[in-house]
Structure 1
Amino acid sequence: MVRLLAHAEIMARTSRLKSVWTAAGRTGRRPIVQDTAFIITAQLWSKGALHVISMLMAQFLSVQAFSTYNVFLLTTTVLASYLGLGLPLAAAKLLARGDTTDGDRERLSVVLYLAAAATVGAVVLKPLYIPVLMPSAVSLNAWWVVAGGALSAWSVLGQSSLYAVRGFRRALLPILSGSALLALGAALAIARSDVHFLIVGALASPLVAAIGSARALSAYDTVPRPSLRLPSSEAFHDVLRTAVPGIGIGVIFTSMTWMIASSLLSHQSSAEQFNMFSVGMQWFALVLFIPLALGQAVFPRYIRMAHQQSTPARMIIQPVASTVAMLLVMAPFAALFTPLLILLYGNKYPFSPVFVVCVILAAAVAGAQTLLSHFVIASRGAGTWMAASLIALSICIACLHVAPPATALAAVLVVGIAYGSLLALAIPIAVYTARTGGRTTTPAAP
């Protein structure tokens, strides 16, 4: 009888261990791989469409028209980062917890109210910031920039919210629809030899993506429904505590690219070099999509682990090491495709193998710091990362002041130096956070 009881106890423990192992497998690597695959698919479609369109525009449009399109993309991206107010980060940290309490409903209402206020402010304050934001050498309707920035901000907010609730599959349709509209605008621009059709397509793309993300979010029971009543001051404080550092982070990174591009555009006869730098940054973003996808997939897990005060070292080391190793291997092979790059974009833009390798290496450095930033923000809050980003911005400004870039290659090197300085700060911060357990600044549910 004793032997039977002992055997039964052993079998019960074995069964419990198997169930725990199975649950760990289902919530561990496999979902991360699946989530990352959906994000990569979406990024490949959207970034791939953008690159194909860029190649076609470089071939069929004049240098000045292509420059107008690149300036539109640059200025709307910068404006969107300002109008975002750090709300995508605040919404992601709020929705990743999966709570539907009254307090979270109020906080989500604060996010939507602030996003709407930012859109209204963009319209009202247009005469103040447009002369600073837009280069005087480019003729572009300022209202298109305002609309593009506002719509892009709403699109990023919707996409970040969907990723926070792990709605990676549902996020595909809005992205695919937006890319299709952008492709339609490009086809009309080529047929009519008018870049303005492409700009209209670029405006319709984030509009459709934002609406699609909102409809997809409404299908999740874990997403709290916004409250119509005026939120409490405590709810505003909780959201702003996360959003304010997020504002700084988004503004810092887009401001760095904007300052480098503006410095390049200020030189005489630099339209070709500006377009080459813009193309380089598009490839930079395409290469960066892998660490970005990994970061977006593991960020909700980092938040939950931060609440439990336990983050395995492999969750930090493996994504960073694998990403950097892969990109470093890609760099020398990418140089071999330089003649193909010239063929795709035209002889007007003389790309060199050194330029291509520098873009890949800069993306490798940026990818490593991007993955570390997700861990630091989840564990220690966005304030720590904003302080490190400010130091990197200061180094970038110093580089532009000492040696303003006159070529696309010099501009890419400045980008690499800025991200390299941030990575040098991120490594000790991440190591210290992992050893001490970090702290979370995510608002606690009432």
Structure 2
Amino acid sequence: MAHVTVQIRQLAAEASWAALAHLFMRGGIVVAFMVFSHGMLVDDFAAANEFNLSLSYLSSMALAGISPVVVRQFARLKDASEGREAGATLLLLAFAALAGVGMGLILAPAGERASLPLIFALAITVVVLGAFPAAVLNGLRAFRSLALAAGLGAAFLLVAASLTNTLVEAVLGITGALGIKAVCEWAIALRRIKLTGRPVALPDLAAFKAVMGSIARVGGSAILTAGALFAMTKLMREGQSALDFSLFAIGMQWYAMGAFVAGNVTKSLFPRQVAVAECGIDHHAQRRLLFQGVVLGVTGALLVIASAFAARPLIALAYGEAGAGAIDVIPLFIAVSLVAIPGNMVGNLAMAYHEEGAWLISSLFGSATLLMALLILPVAGASLAAVSLVMSLIVQNAACLLLLLRKGLL
């Protein structure tokens, strides 16, 4: 019992630092968009929101699941063969950055500004290249370092937002903040790798095959999920007014805020799930970890919901005219985030046992459900996205859970 108590305290402490890192960046973006809403036209504000959402989803597609593979590698990195796998992943990251540039130029949010596609391509490249050191620090459980880098990026973003009046200035501020965060994480990660003696070596053919096998399955899941969310963004942008789309985008920002506690419990949980899996199938230990993670995640999300509901008048004032109606949308999307909490933890459990195929299949079901719901549900505005997300998450979580139970891993 004492061991379990200590484990919960350690997990809570690590999750708190990871959550702080997430809060700095996600919270910084939320506050920045509050500032943007007062100084920008409604159409420009909607375009900035589209830039931010598209950046998140397209960079996830370009990365194709590299991040969790890197986390797993550095959570268990011990010898030269695993070091060669880490080297293979690093080279694949360079190809992902090139793919991100192409996607950024082709799929940049529509707008009259000729510089927007170039800025968008640069932003995707920054996010993709910054994913590797962030995943390394996650695998090494260096969550304080992640919080430091995120805090510096958020500070830059808030200063930039206070000086912003145009769409181009807004997206440059977002890109600059992400760049500062990535540079800090690279500097810290390289130092950590050197201090811990973790080998990162030139890859051989066997290393490439091993890494590509994992990324093919994990990447398929990432591409399906991010692709469906990107399609949802485009459908909402084309089918709704600029104001309604802005409300949807604000809702998605707060959806991420609602999930930030759970998401960072998931981050801190994953290296532990990998460590248990390395010792063989241990149903009791994995279920205990999963239970602890869900309890911490749900508790945190409920606190965010209660805080957002209590602050509704201040939120309405903060967003101004561009965010009219945000006080009704925000609690709804934070509530939706509750449904996502167990799914990510179960998905990481599948990865810990190298059963990425289970998460791939469940992602396929979830993405298909999301798109069908968006097209056929008789609901309008931001509520359409919220209901569709709930249906998608329920289907995806249930499918992955059933597959893991069938394989005897849970």
TM-score normalised over the length of structure 1: 0.83
State the Cα distance separating 1:39 from its structure 2 match: 0.8
- State how 1:39-438 maps to structure 2 within 5 Å: 39-99=18-78, 101-123=79-101, 125=102, 130-131=105-106, 133-136=107-110, 139=113, 141-189=116-164, 193-220=165-192, 221-222=195-196, 224-228=198-202, 231-267=203-239, 270-308=241-279, 309-311=281-283, 312=285, 313-324=287-298, 327=301, 331=305, 334-335=308-309, 337-351=311-325, 355-403=329-377, 406-432=380-406, 436-437=408-409
Q: Is the 8 A contact 1:388 1:426 kept in 2?
A: yes
Q: Distance in 2 between matches of 1:25 and 1:355?
A: 39
SS of 1:171 mapped into structure 2: helix
SS, match of residue 144 in structure 2 = coil
Which digits, 9 at most, give the CA deviation of each residue in 1:279-314, with x for residues without a partner? 111111011011111111110010011111224222
Look up the match of 1:9: none
Q: C-alpha distance in 2, partners of 1:156/1:291?
A: 20
Q: Give the gaps of 5 or more residues in structure 2.
A: none
Give the TM-score of the pair, scaled to structure 2. 0.90
Gap change, CA 1:301 and 1:138, over 3 Å in 2: farther
Rounded to whole Å, the distance in 2 between the matches of 1:109 and 1:409 is 44
- Cα separation, partners in 2 of 1:332 and 1:119, compared to 1, 3 Å: closer
Which whole-Å CA distance do the structure 2 matches of 1:84 and 1:136 have between them?
Answer: 23
Code of the residue aligned with 1:415 in structure 2: it is L
Does the aligned pair in 2 maintain the 1:188–1:198 contact within 8 Å?
A: no
Q: Residues 341 and 351 of structure 1 are in contact (CA less than 8 Å); yes or no, is this contact kept in structure 2?
A: no
C-alpha distance in 1, partners of 2:57/2:378?
20
Partner of residue 17, structure 2: 38
**Structure 1: gaps of 5 or more residues:** 1-20, 439-446
The CA deviation at 1:340 is 3.0
The size of the alignment, in residue pairs, is: 404
One-letter amino acid of the counterpart of residue 213, structure 1: E
Counting helix residues as a fraction of each chain, which structure ranks higher? 2
Mapped contact 1:105–1:227 kept (Cα < 8 A): yes
User: Is the contact made by 2:258 and 2:304 (CA closer than 8 Å) also made in structure 1?
Assistant: no
Q: Distance in 1 between matches of 2:389 and 2:261?
A: 19
Give me the whole-angstrom Cα distance separating, in 2, the residues matched to 1:26 and 1:413.
38
Higher CA-based Rg: 1
Q: 1:330 to 1:103 in 2, by over 3 A?
A: closer
Judged with a 3 Å threshold, the aligned counterparts in structure 2 of structure 1 residues 341 and 26 are, in CA distance, closer, same or farther, namely closer
Q: Is the 8 A contact 1:89 1:160 kept in 2?
A: yes
Q: Following TM superposition, by how much is the alpha carbon of 1:263 offset from its aligned partner in structure 2, in angstroms? A: 0.9
Given that 1:257 and 1:415 are in contact with CA atoms closer than 8 Å, whether structure 2 keeps it comes out as no
Contact 1:107/1:239, CA 8 A, preserved across alignment: yes
